[in-house]
């Protein structure tokens, strides 16, 4: 077994002291909290593209960057989804490098050893009939088996060996075959929020972020990109820690999607284009996902709306420690039920029946 030493903060292989540039703890801490909600941009893109002129679709989809080795070396994979169902692994990366690694502006590969973690992981399943979809969040501190590296936090897989190991790890955990991947970084989230003119979010109760000395008063807030980053990034001051952070992100995601699909956005070609441009500029997908296939999937989803998408989080037993690391213990039995329901296009029904026992669900 090729286990690598890790640090508690990054959960990555220990860097070579001679080659790794020093990183300030403040910068690492800021970047590690990349947004789960940002990954929904992929879904937003699918929902809105149906109303954009064909030549603009070509331009927007064409500026998406691609990674060649997303499925390299994968063997004994799960069976494909039933019918025309599609599984997409959505990853939000926390990059330490200042060089863009996603989208058309990418100056370096989507994976740089020791430079990135997947601080956000979601599995997007599109039902075979295209009338529904589900998005399942996997907590980044989930303690899982990473093939070839032993047990570790799930966000270490991407750091150890890039997208293919992340795919293999998630497939092993879920018994779902991942058809495509989509990687985004935090810059796109901020730009998307600003393109919409801010996003209106209801904060259910007053909370204080001690790390940033920021108080969120209960009530309705219209947040710009910077404020949205602060809101979805908060963990200190939230009773449930990372679970409450996921709940916030899903709450913001619903508001983001609702505003993106509003008549005000979709009736304005300029605004719709700006929103889609902000998404695709910061998006990287697998090289096997051709422009034609992507366009076909997106157009097949043109009648899908936010209410047709079931949001949930992988079932959790609790938290614990592995050495110096705080970890999340997944509920494997409930997980098998959930992933089986996802595979059979029954995720919404399963979530409704099991809502009381799930973490970070959003009503």
CA-atom Rg of the chain in angstroms: 19
- Spatial distance between the Cα atoms of 66 and 182, rounded to a whole number of angstroms: 9
Q: Which domain covers residue 141, as residue numbers? A: 37-189+285-357
Give 17-69 pLDDT, tens digit per residue.
Answer: 333 334 443 333 333 333 334 444 444 444 444 545 555 666 677 788 889 98
Q: Is residue 250 part of a domain?
A: no
pLDDT of 97 > 60? The answer is: no
Q: Find the angle CA(92)-CA(96)-CA(98) to the nearest 5 degrees.
A: 100
Joined together, the tokens standing for residue 21 give 């540039």
Give 203-245 pLDDT, tens digit per residue.
Answer: 888 999 988 899 999 999 999 999 988 888 787 888 777 778 7
Q: Is residue 30 part of a domain?
A: no
Contacts of 54 (CB under 8 A, 6+ apart): none
* Domain count along the chain: 1
Q: What is the pTM of this model?
A: 0.75
Mean confidence (pLDDT) of the chain: 77
pLDDT of 98 > 80? The answer is: no
Q: Is residue 211 part of a domain?
A: no
Q: Is residue 302 part of a domain?
A: yes
The string of DSSP letters for 268-283 reads: -HHHHHHHHHHHHTTE
pLDDT of 362 > 60? The answer is: no
Q: Are 85 and 345 in contact (CB under 8 A)?
A: yes
Q: Is residue 290 part of a domain?
A: yes
CATH number at residue 139: 3.30.420.590
**Taking residues 164-182, what's their average pLDDT?**
97
How many helices (H) and strands (E) the chain has is answered by 13, 15
pLDDT at position 107: 47
Q: Is residue 243 part of a domain?
A: no
Q: Is residue 330 part of a domain?
A: yes
Q: Is residue 299 part of a domain?
A: yes
Joined together, the tokens standing for residue 40 give 């929904």
Contacts of 60 (CB under 8 A, 6+ apart): 49, 52, 273, 276, 277, 280
Residue 261 is inside which H or E element, if any? none
């Amino acid at each position: 077994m090729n286990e690598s030493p890790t640090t508690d903060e990054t959960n990555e292989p220990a860097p070579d002291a001679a080659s790794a540039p020093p990183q300030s703890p403040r910068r690492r801490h800021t970047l590690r909290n990349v947004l789960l909600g940002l990954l929904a941009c992929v879904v937003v893109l699918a929902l809105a593209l149906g109303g954009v002129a064909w030549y603009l679709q070509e331009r927007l989809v064409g500026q998406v960057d691609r990674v060649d080795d997303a499925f390299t070396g994968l063997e004994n994979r799960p069976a494909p989804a039933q019918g025309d169902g599609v599984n997409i692994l959505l990853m939000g990366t926390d990059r330490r490098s200042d060089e863009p690694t996603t989208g058309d502006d990418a100056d370096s590969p989507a994976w740089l050893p020791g430079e990135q973690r997947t601080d956000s992981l979601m599995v997007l399943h599109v039902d075979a009939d295209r009338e529904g979809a589900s998005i399942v969040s996997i907590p980044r501190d989930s303690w899982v088996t990473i093939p070839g590296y032993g047990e570790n936090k799930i966000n270490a897989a991407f750091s150890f060996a890039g997208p293919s190991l992340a795919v293999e790890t998630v497939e092993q955990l879920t018994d779902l075959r991942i058809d495509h991947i989509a990687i985004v970084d935090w810059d796109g989230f901020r730009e998307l929020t600003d393109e919409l003119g801010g996003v209106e979010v209801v904060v259910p109760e007053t909370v204080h972020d001690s790390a940033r000395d920021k108080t969120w008063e209960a009530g309705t807030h219209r947040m710009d990109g910077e404020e949205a980053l602060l809101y979805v990034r908060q963990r200190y001051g939230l009773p449930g820690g990372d679970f409450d952070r996921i709940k916030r992100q899903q709450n913001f995601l619903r508001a983001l999607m609702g505003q993106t699909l509003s008549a005000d956005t979709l009736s304005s070609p300029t605004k719709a284009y700006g929103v889609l441009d902000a998404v695709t500029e910061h998006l990287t997908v697998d090289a096997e996902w051709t422009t034609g296939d992507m366009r076909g999937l997106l157009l097949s989803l043109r009648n899908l709306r936010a209410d047709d998408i079931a949001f949930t989080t992988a079932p959790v037993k609790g938290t614990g420690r592995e050495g110096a690391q705080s970890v999340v213990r997944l509920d494997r039995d409930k997980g098998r039920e959930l992933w089986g329901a996802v595979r059979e296009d029954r995720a919404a029904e399963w979530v409704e029946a099991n809502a009381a026992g799930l973490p970070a669900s959003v009503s």
